[in-house]
Structure 1
């Protein structure tokens, strides 16, 4: 079952219900324009997603555009009415009084730009949800407001849906080359976007709800007599211009460093995270494509040591050239300390890489040097460039640098150069180092650094060293990171006698948890297995579609009419799924068989046959209130009579130490086809 089998029902439902999609876009656009409430509405997610569906050809752009424009217009009109009706009372109303600073920012914005602020403000983060209300509070003429409202809503809709349409068209084109590549790129974009959205909500929504907490903590330290408490009270005083940044840096340091050491303890042999690492590695290995490999090799090459060294030297030279001695020394210490820390931990843990790449300490895996060094380098550059800028400018700069670093880390997992935990640990340690640098050197105000100049130095040096390194090593890197088959071969006799013990005994989820036992080991043709099982009532399940998915919301759907929910084994999707309905009219369940590929091959008669592992579980169809049909696994291992592998000629039964029985079967397709 492919990824598209799960996505197609959702896309089909939206495509077949365009009025519902339009209503959702209307409500989202209106919600973001509502006074203050717009902070809580993730309109960008909805509209960019809708635009992506337009680009994929799943939605008609014209009605969607009209619905979105009307929603944005209605939201601003309601905000105008709220401001016109309540005037200055708004500042004292809960919970609006928690966001008084935003209302003040909106008032300043309106005073600066006048009536055109309604148009401009719709595109400015932080004030777009308050400007229409401010216009009403200021008594702006309604007719004039309406004209600006409609025209700005029109332009705003284009600006929000346009990127989605372009992205959808691009993903559609990529999907023609490879659906797997489209899935990988889409997943990466979703992860980055969620991180940005969560950060935005934390800054704009959560923090303003606790305005006095900061002052209370500082007041408590101020009452104490010791020197450390007085230093904390002085530097973290809300009146201190950099206290918020220092507080955020301290919190990040206190979170990221313990998290790093927690992951370090979780990568010991036998821990669930180790199994999760392997499952995720297998998942990405199954999604690799030639085009995707080139993109990820491009990114991982930009994160190589020679590029990092070039940018580091350029930034250090600039800082010392500007006589920013303390920041320059701090930067060099952070980079040098990280460069020594990474190989030290590698030598301490001796964790093997998924593939052999380097020699010496770099031959080991934990933590990822690419993720760690790039996180420290570009994180500190972001701190220096964003220093003393406004909040949204800082957010933009950190977003750009974080996206770049996360993509490099993602490339290491995709290419199989590192385990997922290696990259997570590297990003966490890098975050801790950047937080420490910001905490120590953030309060410095007498070392002037040209932010634009430093940004250009980073970009130009990265382009120069990265371009040179790519031109000399890209083709070699493609060969280094090419997909590798790690199949282990057993003879049929050794497999039946003792080799079966080395095959996984339980299904492993992506999170590393062990689930139901694997009661089948089968070598041979899947077609032959399906033909043999068909004689005992086993057949292919219905495919996912709008009709079959609708069966879950009907209370009388037969068990064999419901599609099968996805389950992975060690990161792999099943290559064969069969179902068999319970015999008898009083039964309401079904048996589900799944066969997944394993890392083994069996040699028989001079031919290699892939070895599959399988589970057979029983699902009871639960019908709450008689209105829904939901499968619930109630038997995780079948009796031998319900295991179709026993019908394979020459099959043998083995018993594991935990008492579960596994059936070993071999059946080559007589036609010679797989």
Structure 2
């Protein structure tokens, strides 16, 4: 998989003009009047900067393109303001964001011409200030000078972090490509979740102010007490009605989602298979450095740290005489602390590894994910209370990053299944939403947001640092990778135990795909050598040249690289292809062998056991301009299973009629087989 990503980066690097054009359009889009709110410039520019840091792109042309785009965007916004003046405020959909235009006007009045420079860096006004300058009739020459200089500084500020991140990932990649991939995946998950949350707060909600009023007006027509209470508290004129409405909606989404996950972890459900696949996937990516990073974050979610922060926040709230919020905070944390072990005892779901005793020995839901989500989520609600949207988004971004990283560390270290962490985050979010709904309207309890934020940070640093120092080495031993290898005797495997092995390939999402028609124990190199005599060859490696074959209409089947497929989270260690001469349009058979957790013992020698599939791919050629493989047959004829080429192979048949070939390589497995074979086929 990392090899595929590398080829994607190579493609972009070899097309710098395309990358420059994308950066130009993104930078221009963000500077356009109001429209800039919807353009994910940060995604593009930080990503481009990361590619520069990785050595995939030349920074000079990219920097020029980005600066020109930012300059052009502000110039267009200036022209829009100069051309339409105050009419802008009544034009749809700009009238939905009148509050931002008003903020931009105040910013421009306060800072004058300097606002064009500084406004580019200020969330909430950067997409409107150039237009306001045009509306105010600012001299175009003066505007242009400030526009160009600010675009130059803005480009440095946006691409710089990406360049630093790319350089760091490049350095990490020199140590371990797997570690770089893990950290990159974590950053991507955090980034996507945070961006979705920010767009919801800053962009989506302002689009529906009239819908809010219409709903409340309809509810107010009902005379019952509940309807009247809803109408009073959710009235758009109420300063905190929007927050309460968002909390209620989030609660109505996350709590049912939690119970849906509960229903999906029953034995035999796809999510259970997906959990195992994801666990195996992360297990294959673990490195000593990655373990240390994830142990650091998982330790911050340990009970002693959570308890210390909880007590500090509770004491502070009571000292400030915020009685209702303090009591609500204690109820939320105590209720969650009781709920987690009770639910663990109710479900009795085993952990991936043995860690604790008692109720904590069970897995669902993750206590780390649940408690940290509730604790830091409520802290975010208290700190962000009555702040503007941009500051609220910033506070929740920081908190979400910490909570998601702690949850991610539990899956990486094998302490929990993915569904455990997902359920914990959902339940935790529901509790935070309930707290915000009940205690959000309170306005007569002053708690000191900055002081509370400093207290939470200081407590986390002091107690978290002390706990990490005291328990880090022990935690590394506790979470060290553990082998689940199972040894089968050759005779037992051949007689009956082959039937207990997986019958079908399992995707990362838990779906069962094509049958596994090969069980091979032995040396992969010997298998490949024997199969080669019958026309089975290694497929071409992924490169810019071979990938280009997909956009050509006459590419032979044996010249197309193989699309990746995982089995239970593992990548294949050997991939072979065989051209099908019987197909008029051309096709190929594809053999994949994945490692399993089993070893076969025969004659005092242990051989790794591989599970394999053989599928047929038809090469589609729409309009004669493309070549795309499509799997159209999932098993070969029983007599043509390539595993039969191995001397002593045995044919077996499952109850569903699918044939399986058991074969045993006599040579001792070569340790180099895995790396050599795996490099060519993934």
Aligned equivalents of 1:158 and 1:672: distance in 2?
A: 51
Q: Helix, strand or coil: the match of 2:651?
A: strand
Structure 2 Cα separation of the partners of residues 565 and 559 of structure 1: 13
Q: Which moved more, 1:100-109 or 1:650-659?
A: 100-109
> Do the aligned partners of 1:8 and 1:545 also contact (CA within 8 Å) in 2?
no
Deviates more, 1:607-616 or 1:585-594: 585-594
Q: Does 1:637 align with 2:635?
A: yes
Show structure 1 runs of 5+ residues with no match. Answer: none
Equivalence for 1:321 = 319
The CA deviation at 1:306 is 0.6
Q: Residue 132 of structure 1 aligns with which residue? A: 130
Alpha-carbon contact 1:640-1:646 (below 8 Å) kept:
no
User: Does the aligned pair in 1 maintain the 2:383–2:453 contact within 8 Å?
Assistant: yes
1:174 counterpart residue number: 172
Q: Which residue of 2 aligns with 1:475?
A: 473
Among 655, 658, 661, the alignment partner of 2:656 is 658
In structure 2, which of residues 376, 387, 406 is the aligned counterpart of residue 378 of structure 1?
376
Aligned equivalent of 1:272, options 261, 270, 273: 270
State which of 299, 302, 308 in structure 1 corresponds to 2:300: 302
Deviations, residues 34-61 of structure 1 (Å, cap 9, x unaligned): 1111111111111000000000011111
Aligned counterpart, 2:607: 609
Residue segments in structure 2 that go unaligned for 5+ positions in a row: 674-682
| Higher mean C-alpha displacement, 594-603 vs 121-130 | 121-130
2:667 is the alignment partner of 1:669: yes
The alignment of Structure 1 onto Structure 2 pairs a total of residues equal to 672
Q: Partner of 1:114 in structure 2?
A: 112
Q: In the superposition, relative to structure 1, how do residues 19 and 405 fare at CA in structure 2: closer, same or farther (>3 Å)?
A: same
Q: Distance in 2 between matches of 1:361 and 1:326?
A: 31
Give, in angstroms, the shift of residue 668 of structure 1.
Answer: 3.1
Q: Distance in 2 between matches of 1:523 and 1:668?
A: 9
What is the aligned partner in structure 2 of residue 648 from structure 1? 646
Structure 2 contact 587–616 (Cα < 8 Å) conserved: yes
Match of 1:497 among 488, 495, 502: 495
State whether residues 266 and 273 of structure 1, in contact with CA within 8 Å, keep that contact through their aligned partners in structure 2: yes
* TM-score, normalised with respect to structure 1: 0.98
Please give the alpha-carbon distance, in whole angstroms, between the structure 2 residues aligned to 1:308 and 1:182.
29
Partner residue in 2 for 1:252: 250
Cα distance, 1:467–1:672 mapped onto 2, change above 3 Å = closer
* 1:437 equivalenced with 2:435 (yes/no): yes
Determine the structure 1 residue equivalent to 2:159: 161
For the residues of structure 2 that align with 1:192 and 1:470, how far apart are their CA atoms?
23
Task: Quote the residue 1:60 is aligned against.
Answer: 58
2:562 corresponds to which residue?
564
Q: Give the Cα–Cα distance (whole angstroms) in 1 for the partners of residues 135 and 515 of structure 2.
A: 67
Contact 1:620 1:632 in 2 (8 A): yes
Shift of 1:669: 3.0
The corresponding residue for 1:573 is 571
Q: Distance in 1 between matches of 2:626 and 2:84?
A: 47
Residue from 609, 619, 622 that aligns with 1:621: 619
Query: Which residue of 2 is the match for residue 77 of structure 1?
Result: 75
Q: 1:642 deviation in Å?
A: 2.8
SS in 1 for 2:112: helix
State yes or no: 1:289 paired with 2:287: yes
Once the two structures are superposed, the pairs formed by residues 512-531 of structure 1 within 5 Å of their partners are 512-531=510-529
Q: Which residue of 1 aligns with 2:482?
A: 484
How far the C-alpha of 1:93 sits from its partner, in A, is 2.0
| In 2: Cα distance, 1:672 partner to 1:211 partner | 67
Question: Structure 1 residues 330, 617: CA separation in 2 closer, same or farther (over 3 Å shift)?
Answer: same
Please point out which of 62, 87, 90 is paired with 1:89.
87
Return the TM-score normalized by structure 2: 0.97
CA contact (8 A) 2:31 2:127 kept: yes
- Paired residue secondary structure (2:329): helix
Distance in 2, matches of 1:8 and 1:642, equals 36
Give the secondary structure class of the aligned counterpart of 2:209. Answer: coil
The 1-side partners of 2:195 and 2:483 are apart by 38
Closer/same/farther in 2, CA of residues 555 and 231 from structure 1, 3 Å limit: same
Q: Which residue of 1 aligns with 2:591?
A: 593
How far apart are the structure 2 equivalents of 1:425 and 1:602? Answer: 38
Q: CA deviation at 1:272?
A: 0.5
**Equivalent residues of 2:522, 2:668 under 8 A apart:** no
Aligned-residue offset at 1:583: 1.9
Question: Equivalents in 1 of 2:450, 2:41: separation in Å?
Answer: 32
Q: Considering only aligned residues, what root-mean-square deviation do their CA atoms show, in Å?
A: 1.1
Paired with 2:396 and 2:364, the residues of 1 have a C-alpha distance of 26
The question of 1:403 aligning with 2:413 is answered no
SS state of the match for residue 212, structure 1?
helix
Which range is displaced more, 227-236 or 576-585? 576-585
> Partner of 1:535 in structure 2?
533
Q: Which residue of 2 aligns with 1:141?
A: 139
Alpha-carbon contact 2:620-2:629 (below 8 Å) kept: yes
| Correspondence list, 1:179-218, <5 A | 179-218=177-216
Question: What residue number does 1:418 align with?
Answer: 416
8 Å Cα contact 2:607-2:669 kept in structure 1: no
- Rounded to whole Å, the distance in 2 between the matches of 1:543 and 1:425 is 40
Q: CA deviation at 1:391?
A: 1.0
Query: Is 2:45 the partner of 1:44?
Result: no
Cα separation, 1, equivalents of 2:661 and 2:205:
58
Cα deviation for residue 670 of structure 1 reads 6.6
Cα distance in 2, alignment partners of residues 671 and 188 from structure 1: 35
